[in-house]
Structure 1
Amino acid sequence: MSLEPPPAPIDAVPRKNTRSLDLLKDIRVLDLTSSIAGPYAAQLLADMGATVVKVEPPGKGDDVRAWGPPFLNGESLWYLSVNRNKHSITLDHAQPEGYAILQKLVAQADVVIVNLVPRIQRKLRLDVQTLSALKPDLIHVSLTGFGCNGERADLPCYDLVAEGYSGVMELTGEPDSPPQKIGTPAADLLAGQDAALATLAALHRRGRDGAGCAIDISMVESMTRFMSPRILSYLGGGDLPRRSGGRDSVIAIYQVFDTADKPITLALGNDAVWGRFWRAVGQPDVASDSDFATNALRRNHRARLVQLIAKLLREKPRSHWLEVFSRERVPAGPIQDVHEVTNDAALQSRGFIYAVETDRGVLPQIGLGIRFDDASEGTSRPPPDLGADTVSILTQWADIDPSQIEAMRRRRII
């Protein structure tokens, strides 16, 4: 029998139907991507108010629509996690008539996001040179595994592959365990965030001088930049970092400790925190010991200090220590599983974990986590059904008569 807690029921998650942000309300984005990284980039822009049109293959749509279980009311929850606030159209732009429609859409767009390797971009005429000829001030975002040039440019890539290249897997896990993947698609999400950030910068420059931009995002490079503190420490110091589990190799006391019942994290990151910790546990004499006056000295005595702290914390339960450390402003916290995260009252109270009512049922969502004038994203449009907005977008953006649209649907162009 499984001992795992049941999933948090959706009806226990607060509802949120706030007005959407309007920071990018005049910006139009064509999302030609699939899976996670590209759709996440487009969702970030949509959350901030851009009109995002997700262009999908007729019949099957984005690959991620099929990723599951788990499914909710027949929909992939992975799809639901990265596609809110978008419109969806279906279009086979590999066909000549479909490509002619895509050209009209590009001419109306400010941003186009693609996640095909350069060779396929050129083959399908989605590369920056071709699309910028249609709209010189276009922001063209290419989000690939290895970037638009170099010997690996045309190699396929997924999050797992990018994590392996970056070095993060080699440093994740316990010292005696094999390399481990991070527990979320980190390379996808970091690259998607980079793509959104770069798009905002390019839009700002275009507003200043009217210039378009070719943005080149590499999942491997986004993930590797995430490793900067470790890589630079090696390049400048010469010590090759190794897996250390829940312990950090730079800060002397920065790791997981067991308590009388559940583990906690403890981060004694500077001398002031070091002193507050020992005063909080009733042993101020340790804080004033000259042997432990600096982090460098504490590292020299790390094994002894870890043993001392571990013995102390095992005497009381986690709730006791968290209350003490909170009161004394000592950085510490629980190690929450996903069930506990979804029930975190503080996250819920900020509107970060919520659900929305739709005509397809109640959908859970995770917020943008960024506030503008004390407001964050609304969910004015839940993740769209496949092709839900084909008629309205082709009518409004491409000036196509509805009767033509129906004829193209019969020919499976849309």
Structure 2
Amino acid sequence: MQKKTGDLPFTGLPRIDDTKGHVLLEGMRVVDLSTSIAGPYGTQLLADLGATVIKVEKPDGGDDARQWGPPFIDGESPWFLSVNRNKHSVVLDLAAPEGLAVLEKLLEKADVLVVNMNERVQRKLGIDHARLAPRFPRLIHASLTGFGLRGKRADLPCYDLIAEGYSGVMDLTGEAHDDPQKVGTPAADMLAGQDVAMAVLAAYAARERTGRGAQIDVSMQATMTRFMAPRLSSFLSSGELPTRSGGKDSVIAIYQVFDTADRQISLGLGNDAIWRRFWVAVGVPEPGLDPRYASNADRRAHRQEIVEKIAGILRARTRDEWLALFGENRIPAGPINRLDEVAADDELLRQGFLYQAQAANGPIPQVGLGIAIDGRSAAHRKAPPKLGEDTEAILSGMIDLAPDRIRKSEEAGAA
């Protein structure tokens, strides 16, 4: 049974009304054909920074993520709502000639096209770079796929789970005796979306110099594997194959989770000065001065005995007592928060990073951009759109499509 909106945790978040938001990308126009999480997250980042993002969705159901639930908030998927603010939704059937014709009118006014289809499907629909570039030479054409546009895997379907498995991150996540685990958030999706936004911005800056657009090819596998660069580089440099350890095998000694008298704590003793400060803070200065532990390499060699010493000390007091002491002594440490604790974090709430906004069907929760520009961090300009809610406004306002042409498109099933 679904809870009433008033009983949900987000109703305690601060309310934010639509604002002007960030304007660094004001004037950039993005046509977004992507669905699910990765592509929409990338275009939301651009929208949060001021770009106008036109989300083109299929007439029957729209973005796949609209159906991802439960939970739902007044019929809307929180997964969809999390990556689609500050956008305008237009319904077009790209398989219909009239729908493709309208899309091309939009591209005449656009700077960027984002798609998450492989090249075979792009060619079938007539939206591949090779076809569009001659007509729209200034267009930045960004493709986000599982394995890139070229190579033997180019046509294979992919989700976040699949990309994480390819990258090696699942093999190294979890306790030694447990099965491989994916990261607890769609990491490959979110990171690939960031790559799309980063590459688009680089191409946009280059176009200011050259006047030419670009073809961007983002692979979720490549993105997620780059995320593993420190671990992969370490293996390539040593031949030592790491195994799952519950995060207890960091190159930094000591850098892991410990038990306290009540709740767990994370502790990172990342350099020699912090190492020495830690032992003074806990009232046992001798290990900090012991020449056997003088360098990080020395501490790695004696990791197990050091961990046992620290574990015995930390079990004597509560987590919050240790966090207060470590904060006073500038020792990196933190809690292992549950999501309800994250949602109640007073600093995140003070920053307006977690908030609720008014959408078409009622209030919804949002997780902000979290980037302050000239002292301002609010990025909310528009709630995630209902399917097709901006079709008429965009088609008539941006490309001057006459009302009868819009009506004919709708009658033909193209919009």
CA distance in 2, matches of 1:158, 1:277: 43
CA contact (8 A) 1:106 1:131 kept: no
CA distance in 2, matches of 1:175, 1:140: 43
Query: Following superposition, which runs of at least 4 residues in structure 1 exceed 6 angstroms of deviation?
Result: none
TM-fit CA distance, 1:376: 2.1
CA contact (8 A) 1:16 1:378 kept: no
SS in 1 for 2:134: helix
Q: Does 1:173 align with 2:174?
A: yes
TM-fit CA distance, 1:301: 1.2
CA contact (8 A) 1:8 1:343 kept: no
TM-fit CA distance, 1:179: 0.6
Q: In structure 1, what residue type is equivalent to 2:81?
A: L
Residue-by-residue CA offset, 1:99-142 (whole Å, 9 max, x unaligned)? 11111111111000000011111111111111212210100000
1:388 aligned residue? 389
CA contact (8 A) 1:106 1:134 kept: no
CA distance in 1, matches of 2:280, 2:119: 59
Q: Does 1:243 align with 2:244?
A: yes
2:146 aligned residue? 145
SS in 1 for 2:133: helix
Residue-by-residue CA offset, 1:31-52 (whole Å, 9 max, x unaligned)? 0000000000110000000000
CA contact (8 A) 2:116 2:145 kept: yes
Q: In structure 2, what residue type is equivalent to 1:14?
A: P
1:38 aligned residue? 39
TM-fit CA distance, 1:359: 4.1
1:118 aligned residue? 119
Residue-by-residue CA offset, 1:336-370 (whole Å, 9 max, x unaligned)? 01111011111111111111133421111111121
Residue-by-residue CA offset, 1:364-383 (whole Å, 9 max, x unaligned)? 11111211111124321100
Q: In structure 1, what residue type is equivalent to 2:327?
A: S
**Distance change in 2, residues 1:104/1:360 (3 Å):** same
2:357 aligned residue? 356
CA contact (8 A) 1:111 1:138 kept: yes
SS in 2 for 1:365: strand
CA distance in 1, matches of 2:226, 2:278: 33
SS in 2 for 1:52: strand
Bigger Cα displacement from structure 2, 390-399 vs 145-154? 390-399
2:221 aligned residue? 220
Bigger Cα displacement from structure 2, 354-363 vs 333-342? 354-363
Q: In structure 2, what residue type is equivalent to 1:16?
A: I
CA contact (8 A) 2:252 2:296 kept: yes
Q: In structure 2, what residue type is equivalent to 1:193?
A: Q
The two structures have a TM-score, normalised by structure 2, of: 0.96
2:16 aligned residue? 16
Structure 1: gaps (5+ residues): 1-6
Bigger Cα displacement from structure 2, 319-328 vs 12-21? 12-21
SS in 2 for 1:283: coil
Q: In structure 2, what residue type is equivalent to 1:86?
A: K
SS in 2 for 1:369: coil
SS in 1 for 2:177: coil
Residue-by-residue CA offset, 1:232-258 (whole Å, 9 max, x unaligned)? 001111111111113233112111000
CA distance in 2, matches of 1:300, 1:368: 41
CA distance in 2, matches of 1:347, 1:273: 27
TM-fit CA distance, 1:173: 0.4
CA distance in 2, matches of 1:408, 1:299: 67
Share of identical aligned residues, percent? 56
1:85 aligned residue? 86
SS in 2 for 1:72: coil
CA contact (8 A) 1:104 1:397 kept: no
1:397 aligned residue? 398
1:346 aligned residue? 347
Q: Over aligned residue pairs, what C-alpha RMSD do you find?
A: 1.3
CA distance in 2, matches of 1:83, 1:284: 52
CA distance in 1, matches of 2:34, 2:269: 43
1:300 aligned residue? 301
CA contact (8 A) 2:99 2:414 kept: yes
2:3 aligned residue? none
Bigger Cα displacement from structure 2, 123-132 vs 369-378? 369-378
CA distance in 2, matches of 1:44, 1:165: 26
CA distance in 1, matches of 2:287, 2:235: 32
Q: In structure 2, what residue type is equivalent to 1:170?
A: D
CA distance in 1, matches of 2:281, 2:204: 50
CA contact (8 A) 1:8 1:339 kept: no
Residue-by-residue CA offset, 1:277-309 (whole Å, 9 max, x unaligned)? 111101111101111111111111111111111
2:4 aligned residue? none
CA distance in 1, matches of 2:386, 2:227: 34
Q: In structure 2, what residue type is equivalent to 1:399?
A: D
Residue-by-residue CA offset, 1:379-411 (whole Å, 9 max, x unaligned)? 211000000000011112232111221232233
CA distance in 2, matches of 1:13, 1:97: 44
CA distance in 2, matches of 1:368, 1:248: 32
CA distance in 2, matches of 1:19, 1:392: 19
The two structures have a TM-score, normalised by structure 1, of: 0.97
Structure 2: gaps (5+ residues): 1-6
SS in 2 for 1:241: coil
SS in 2 for 1:364: strand
CA distance in 1, matches of 2:350, 2:107: 40
CA contact (8 A) 1:253 1:269 kept: yes
1:3 aligned residue? none
